[in-house]
Structure 1
Amino acid sequence: MKRGHRYIVFTMAIFSLILIACTKKEVKPDLAFAGEKHLKNIRMLTNGGENAEAYFSFDESQLIYQSKHDSIKCDQIFIMNLDGSDKRMVSTGKGRTTCSYFLPGDQQIIYASTHGVDENCPPPPDFSRGYVWKVYSSYDLYIANADGSDPQPFLPSPGYDAEATVSPRGDKIVFTSQRNGDLDIYTVNIDGSGLKQLTHEIGYDGGAFFSWDGSKIVYRAYHPRTEEELKRYRKLLAEELIEPNNFQLFVMDADGSNKRQITHNDFANFAPFFHPDNKRIIFCSNMGTTESTQRDFNLWMINEDGTGLKQITFFKGFDGFPMFTHDGKKLVFASNRFNKKKGETNVFIADWVE
């Protein structure tokens, strides 16, 4: 072989090795677990801290979510692009916030915050009482511009007001309120008119989402059945606490009629969201866990009549707060999977495979 030919072959070999090395560097880790056949191309959008309840804007170009990370000691509301870029805080940075959502047109947002009562972080729940959630009476709803400016109270009242989501039709807001003394679901027109109480049974009703056609609402609930359960529920509520250990899922028509329970188990079922076919519901549950693994939650799917239960994710940790795009091609959810530190929760987005 001539010297020039040897040089060309050597150069091509070196180039091939460099190309292979670069290609290997670009290979992304598989963020799915065995059995997760409905999820493909999972991407992590946040990386560090506690990030959850990420919901699409109406044009599906952005996500609004709550986050606690670095120097931020209490959950605040953030917006980011679908690739995780351009993260920015849109709440006041004061108090504690939760449950944010875009309003139609994506020029305004709605969320719950305690900053109107106290600019400091309210005390966290006392887990020596067991696994409990705080329902701070200082939570009120606020509507602000999408850049976070000009936050204004929305339907303020004594007691807990939070968990607001918006109908895909753009006409109604649904939320949970303690304005009658108990935790019930209400709907209201976007402009604040036409407030209507939809649930009346003693107990917690919340986490509500509309179906894509706006005709139904899915929600989680705990209704004490015995005198002892009722006494405990009321005692905890007086201390701004609820126990999420036995939430069941319900579906009702958008006017509050035709209520029916669709899960019947002894576990915690929550964060339900309708598939765009308006017939299936994806949700989070610790079904099948034991006392030692009861905080392991996965995503499940069920028909809106309670049939066809199917497990979607298989992670030994937490997967929750799922939301589909309007075409059903993408799913966003929060998870502990592949976190850098124990206890961190991040936002993930995946392609949905039927």
Structure 2
Amino acid sequence: MTSPAAAALLGLLALAPQDPSAPDEARFLSEVRQLSFEGKRAGESYFHRDGQLLVFQSEREPGNPWYQIYLLELESGETERISPGVGKTTCAWVHPDGRHVLYASTHADPRSKTLQDEENAFRASGQQRRYAWDYDEHFELYAYDREKKETRRLTEARGYDAEGSYSPDGQWIAWSSNRAAYEKALPPAEQERLAKDPAYFLDLYLMRADGTELRRLTDVPGYDGGPFFSPDGKLLCFRRFAPDGATAEIYTLEIESGRERKLTALNAMSWAPYFHPSQEYLIFTTNRHGFANFELYLVDAQGRGEPVRVSSTPGFDGLPCFTPDGTGLAWTSNRTADQSSQIFVARWNHAAAQEALRATFASARADDRRLVEESERLRFLELAPLDEARGLLLRATEGTPALAAVGRLTAGAPQRSHPVWIGARLAKDAAQSSLSHDLLLRAVELLRAQRASAKLALDFDVVFALWSAETEKVDPRALIGADGIAAYIDLSGLEGWSGSELALLGLGTSPGWKSAVEKANSPVGLALRAQDAPPTSGFAAPFAAAEIPTLALGAIGAANAIAASPDDAARARLARFAALLARAAARGAQPLKFTRYERPPAPAGGGRPWLGTIPDYAPAGIPGLKLSGVAPGGPAAKAGLQAGDIVVAMGGREVKGIDDFAACLDALKIGEPVAITVVRGGAKLDLTATPTKREG
């Protein structure tokens, strides 16, 4: 039977056409639609426990450029302003009694109106500030009585007091504050930090709903914020930023014992967690897919398995909250026509969420067993463990680059610094094969056999690594340590290779690569298509960006189709080439020297047409040519092409793969517009680019 909460939300959903969602979202979200429209932006909405009220913040008050707090009655559509209309506000919550509303505001600051007028004048001049949150030290917590139309101040201390919520029984308030930093004398370095980064000092606090019995819950460097109670009132979920503010992870805290549990380890900005009413899992926001691309994810409340992606629309999707009965979701998104942030609502598929999370439990257990097996295999091959990586590293959560298994083939005593690294992608599970994974282990066996027969002379160690990741965010700086890295050879782009021509990317990152390739391929005889330009996507890209000589092996021809797997003879040839390439790179009195790639100048009086597209040689498994990027300011970028776009047609010609794409490029003419069709987010887009003359 549909509850009043669900009826109110679902009634609203029926009032307007559905907003199209990406295919992946349809598994969890249906009848997606925009709820708020008024004002410059709106968001951070939370339901009252009966599901009939939704409190939110919005920039819509005339004369005030900042957020104010509003309460929406879902059945009637009437909106009531809760905050006084002056100053800044944030983070509201409705008391279980429906009468009182908690929020944070700076309206008591004597300079509020002056600051407001100054901001209005600044915007009226045509200038625009980059949007960023302000940890104003005048933020205090207030409770508004809807019946008496009165506001009561609950906190009164210098510092940021905000991000509050009531407990399910209405007796307690949890919130975030940096008041402790203002209450004591800080060393000069911390005083400077407080002036520049007040969020660093934010911790969680708890007090009675009337503002009494205040106590501090956390005391950790870095920003603890956004606390919400679990449905049973025993836990808090919150986000904790690293001390440098670059990343954040999701935690829960047991209020009575103070025991914490870390639920995510995505090495990204993960925040805004919220419990499902079942208390089985939480939904949260993360930018693991790109700095400015925030998506919704689920995580098990016990930290089991892996996080599960919910949304897949480019841009911002965040600050989610469930309806009290768990059948609906509200969140903030800029999937609007003008890309402003507004509130969206949708039906929620709880059964699909349970199923998706349970699937990761079994996968995680299988991955654990498989990684142990890989470690044993590397040990059997008599590889010395990599000291810095401690041999076998714990697997990372899905999408988080980490070493699954690693071994080191030593050059002999004394051990020298600057090893050569050769990496491949770990197969997703035991039932799936990974060509690069297989090739890496074959290369290990070849080099080990050469060493056993005294035919292998190395001047530098060779490190073999299997990456347990879905995305390419490997940080070479975390691996280098005191040893440094002489060179990196990447095999992960070989998935989809059919046994024919092979791409080599990054030849220009070191003058030593051409000699190494010549030595390695002379006895093997592979058909190679070499490019001086460094790889711009995949696991190899961060190594090249870190100024490490980098050579990436990639598939050609079958890169964007499901190619027939190469036979054993072809695999053996490619593994031999990889092994000989690593051996050549690990020989010499000095490690390979890095050189920065410079695009060659165009011939005088001539020049080829240039679009500025950067193909992705990793297989996509679908027709078309995927772009790993576009040159900033180039014709493709100006036409609106983006990284991740899949080119399916150009100049009236169908593009099925890299060969078709190359033929289309050959047909381009400088200054003549060309029609390009791409697939982005499941939808086709028709764009027009005008090739220019390739300059230096």
Match 2:23 to one of 34, 40, 60 = 34
TM superposition shift of 1:65: 0.4
Question: Residues 199 and 256 of structure 1 are in contact (CA less than 8 Å); yes or no, is this contact kept in structure 2?
Answer: no
Aligned position for 2:313: 315
2:244 is equivalent to residue 248 of structure 1: no
The CA distance in 2 between the partners of 1:110 and 1:30, in whole Å, is: 32
One-letter identity of the residue aligned with 2:100: Q
Distance 1:148 1:271 in 2: 32
Number of the residue aligned with 2:343: 347
How far apart are the structure 1 equivalents of 2:24 and 2:164?
Answer: 33
Give the CA deviation at 1:184: 0.9
CA distance in 2 between counterparts of 1:305 and 1:336 reads 31
TM-score when scaled to structure 1? 0.79
Using the alignment, how far apart are the partners of 1:222 and 1:333 within structure 2? 22
Identity of aligned pairs, percent? 30
RMSD (Å) for aligned C-alpha atoms = 2.3
| Cα distance in 2, alignment partners of residues 97 and 252 from structure 1 | 26
Does residue 1:300 correspond to 2:297, yes or no? yes
Query: Hey, what does 1:208 align to over in structure 2?
Result: 227
| Cα deviation code 1:199-228 (max 9, x no counterpart) | 01122111111110111111011242xxxx
Give the corresponding residue for 2:34. 44
* Equivalence map 1:62-141=2 (5 Å): 62-69=53-60, 71=62, 72-82=64-74, 85-117=77-109, 118-120=111-113, 121=115, 133-141=133-141
- d(CA) in 1 for partners of 2:319, 2:60: 19
Aligned amino acid, residue 268 of structure 2: F
Q: CA deviation at 1:324?
A: 1.0
Cα distance between partner residues in 2 of 1:84 and 1:204 = 39
Which of 312, 332, 335 pairs up with 1:334? Answer: 332
Determine the C-alpha separation between the residues in 2 that align with 1:322 and 1:146: 25
Structure 1 stretches lacking a partner, 5+ long: 1-25, 230-242
Q: 1:333 to 1:262 in 2, by over 3 A?
A: same
Q: Secondary structure at the match of 1:79?
A: strand
1:43-96 Cα shifts (integer Å, max 9, x gaps): 321114210111111221010100003734110001112268112322111001
Q: Is the 8 A contact 1:139 1:162 kept in 2?
A: yes
**Alignment deviations for residues 240-284 of structure 1 (CA, whole Å, 9 cap, x no partner):** xxx4x4111111102361112211122111110011121201001
- Structure 2 counterpart of 1:159: 159
**Whole-angstrom CA distance in 1 between matches of 2:180 and 2:262:** 23
Distance 2:132 2:67 in 1: 17
Please list every run of 5 or more consecutive structure 2 residues that lacks an aligned counterpart in the other structure. Answer: 1-14, 120-127, 182-200, 352-696
Looking at structure 2, the residues matched to 286 and 93 of structure 1 have their Cα atoms a distance apart, in angstroms, of: 32
Counterparts of 2:218 and 2:306, CA distance in 1: 26
Q: Residues of 2 paired with 1:313 and 1:171: CA distance? A: 35
The letter for the 2-side match of 1:205 is D
Q: Distance in 2 between matches of 1:159 and 1:345?
A: 28
Contact 2:71-2:80 within 8 A present in 1 as well: yes
Contact 2:161 2:178 in 1 (8 A): yes
**Aligned residues of 2:58 and 2:70 also touching (Cα < 8 A):** yes
Contact conserved, 2:106 with 2:140, CA < 8 A, in 1? yes
TM-superposed CA distance for 1:131, in Å, is: 8.2
Matched, 1:258 2:259: yes
DSSP-derived class of the 2:112 partner? coil
Report SS of the residue matched to 1:133: coil
* Residues 1:217 and 1:223: Cα distance change in structure 2 (over 3 Å): same
Which one has a larger percent helix, Structure 1 or Structure 2? 2
In the TM superposition, residue 129 of structure 1 has moved relative to its aligned partner by 12
Aligned residues: 302
What is the SS of the residue equivalent to 2:150?
coil
Q: Give the structure 1 partner of residue 203 of structure 2.
A: 184
Hey, what's the Cα distance between the residues in 1 that align with 2:240 and 2:16?
43
2:60·2:68 contact (CA, 8 Å) conserved in 1? no
Decide whether aligned partners of structure 1 residues 213 and 138 sit closer, same or farther in structure 2, where only a CA change above 3 A counts: same
Work out whether residues 62 and 81 of structure 1, in 8 Å CA contact, stay in contact via their aligned partners in 2. Answer: yes
Provide the rounded CA distance (Å) in 2 between the counterparts of 1:82 and 1:317: 27
In the aligned structure 2, how far is the partner of 1:261 from the partner of 1:180?
A: 24
CA contact (8 A) 1:203 1:221 kept: yes
Counterpart Cα distance in 1 of 2:301 and 2:148: 36
Whole-angstrom distance in 2 between the partners of 1:147 and 1:53: 24
Structure 1: distance between partners of 2:129 and 2:269: 17
For 2:214, the aligned partner's letter is L
Distance between the aligned counterparts of 2:78 and 2:33, measured in 1? 16
